[in-house]
A and B are shown apart, each in its own frame.
Chain A
Amino acid sequence: MTRRLSLFNLTSLIFGFAFLYLPILLLVVYSFNASRLVTVWGGFSTQWYGALFRNEALMEAAWVTLRIALLSATLATVLGTLAALALTRYGRFFGRTLFTGMVYAPMVMPEVITGLSLLLFFVAIGLDRGFWTIALAHTTLTMCFVTVVVQSRLMTFDRSLEEAAMDLGAPPLRTFFAVTLPLIAPSIVAGFLLAFTLSLDDLVIASFNTGPGATTLPIKIYSQVRLGLSPEVNAASAILIGIVTLGVVVATLLTKRSAARARRDGH
């Protein structure tokens, strides 16, 4: 059924998307501003990008952030996938209600509470704050998001393939690696990417759990922004936006292609 949009609906869409995208667009445009005053256009220039790459503190922070995100997203993907399997394939087990609660709570819990409670925990067990405490905190938060993404895939897919493999005598572990894993792989990749971006982006939890030598990019950007607008922050933001946009476009194309292949193979 194709139908044309009414004028009202079309206007809603245009205004809605303009509201979502104009601020980001303006930020990127003004990162090419020659003037140090961020809101006054002084001609085209790429000087802030050069200044950015010469800013060692910022580069160091970017490197720390990337390492934390990779580590925590990897751990979160493994733990989150296991949790999703437990929730969809294990039926009732001891303490299931508590488990479900613990998976859903961190996602809606205000970040200030999660950040503070983890910090107090790390202090209580005597773990020095820094790289590892941020990575552990991010793993805990992001594994819950991975769980939800993988769980929704596990709930909708065709169980008969798994049952067929088991009937033919494949042990559970082998069934998992040969049948289940390839089918849920796109959702695991999506979960990993979500965990990675959330970790890259987090300011509040990282601020509570950071220590000497573990300044992440959001912490660095936040401390610069508090002092006022900075063209270097604009340039850094534009690069991040570019990377994320590229990543999302590539991921979308990949899932489209795998969906098309799945259809062709007759699933």
Chain B
Amino acid sequence: MAERSLTRKLTASLVPALPYLWLGVFFLVPFLIVLKISLSDPAVAQPPYKPVFDWSDIAGFFSQLDLDNFETLVGDDLYLSATLSSIRIATISTILLLLVGFPVAYAMARAPERHRPLLVALVILPFWTSFLIRIYAWIAILKPEGLLNQGLMALGAISEPLTILNTEWAVYIGIVYAYLPFMVLPLYAALEKMDDTLLEAALDLGSPPWRSFWTITVPLAMPGIIAGSLLCFIPAVGEFVIPDLLGGSETLMIGRQLWSEFFSNRDWPLASAVAILLLIILVVPIVIYRDVEARRLETES
């Protein structure tokens, strides 16, 4: 019996141990390696950086580390402007997402109850189709001789084709398009729970609709607004595919910089330093997002 309860205990402890171990090996350790390599010097070798770790020489290991790569990052205007422009593009995109997403989420929450599951499914469906393909679709629409310009010129709205592809505008359109479900779903979840009688009461008491919107709807939707904004802002800062395919060579973004340090310049230590920089920018929004999510899960259960 004692033996049996021992095996039972062992099986039971495997449940947390296996995923724990997996994430430790494939998430935590790789992350520490990035940190280490960002502090190393590049070497003309394969792999192109100084060795990772030598047990026999721990003091030597630490003395090799330096902040040269971070000095490069701070000293070079390219990285500063890439960082600032990533934050700017992500911020503007998030605001645009709120402007586009809020009316859609609001209308979904006001729709007859039996239609709502279908509407939610329709918002999620594009998310299941390839991200790359959905961005690719916009190239054909936005290019100078593309479908949008063809349509607008046929309608007589413009006489000269608009240049949208390979500008920052194309990046905004791409981000809003690709991330819209991430904004709409948290907003919808918050708005759906809203009690209509509050709005009716406000109306009865003589509050104009716009004021009821700002004093009742927006505060009640706030958890959804915060969750949706963070859910869009965080990945947008590190976005690579959208600026690369739609933004042209002019659009600087930090995720793209990391990619080119790694693939074009083969400077792995500098690419690692860019990764650490990107993480430092995102650590505050990520922590806030985790708190918001934890609180939401608590109130739901």
| A interface residues, Cβ below 8 angstroms from B | 1-6, 8-10, 12-13, 16-17, 19-21, 23-24, 26-27, 30, 38-40, 79-80, 82-83, 85-86, 89-90, 93, 95, 99, 101-106, 108-113, 116-118, 120-121, 123-124, 136-137, 139-140, 143, 147, 152, 155-156, 171-173, 197, 200-201, 203-204, 207-208, 218, 221-222, 225-226, 229, 233, 237, 240-241, 244-245, 247-248, 252
Binary contact track B257-270/A, C-beta < 8 Å → 1, others 0: 01100110000100
Q: Is the CB of A172 within 8 A of B12?
A: yes
Give the contacting residue for A1; candidates B8, B113, B122; CB below 8 A: B113
Q: Is the CB of A204 within 8 A of B241?
A: yes
Question: B108 in the interface, Cβ–Cβ < 8 Å?
Answer: yes
Q: Is the CB of A120 within 8 A of B272?
A: yes
A5-B107, A12-B107, A108-B234 known; A116+B275 contact, CB < 8 A: yes
Q: Is the CB of B23 within 8 A of A140?
A: yes
In the bound complex, residues from chain A placing their C-beta under 8 Å from that of B126 are 20-21, 24
Smallest CB gap from A116: residue in B: B275
In the bound complex, residues from chain A placing their C-beta under 8 Å from that of B27 are 102, 105-106, 140
In the bound complex, residues from chain B placing their C-beta under 8 Å from that of A13 are 104, 107-108, 111, 119
| B interface residues, Cβ below 8 angstroms from A | 8, 11-12, 14-16, 18-20, 22-24, 26-31, 33-34, 37, 47, 52, 100, 103-104, 106-108, 110-114, 119, 121-123, 125-126, 128-134, 136-141, 143, 145-147, 150, 177, 180, 184, 231, 234-235, 237-241, 245, 255, 258-259, 262-263, 268, 271-272, 275, 278-279, 282, 286, 289-290, 293, 297, 300-301
In the bound complex, residues from chain A placing their C-beta under 8 Å from that of B272 are 116, 120
Could you give 27 example pairs across A and B, Cβ below 8 Å? Answer: A2-B112, A2-B114, A9-B111, A12-B104, A12-B106, A13-B104, A16-B180, A19-B177, A24-B134, A39-B143, A40-B145, A82-B16, A82-B18, A83-B16, A83-B23, A99-B20, A102-B24, A103-B19, A111-B235, A112-B255, A120-B33, A140-B26, A201-B132, A204-B241, A225-B136, A226-B245, A229-B139
In the bound complex, residues from chain A placing their C-beta under 8 Å from that of B12 are 172
Most buried by A among B23, B108, B234: B23
In the bound complex, residues from chain B placing their C-beta under 8 Å from that of A93 are 16
Those 5 A-B pairs whose CB atoms lie nearest each other, nearest first? A110-B238, A86-B16, A16-B104, A121-B30, A9-B107
A99-B16, A105-B27, A155-B297 known; A143+B275 contact, CB < 8 A: no
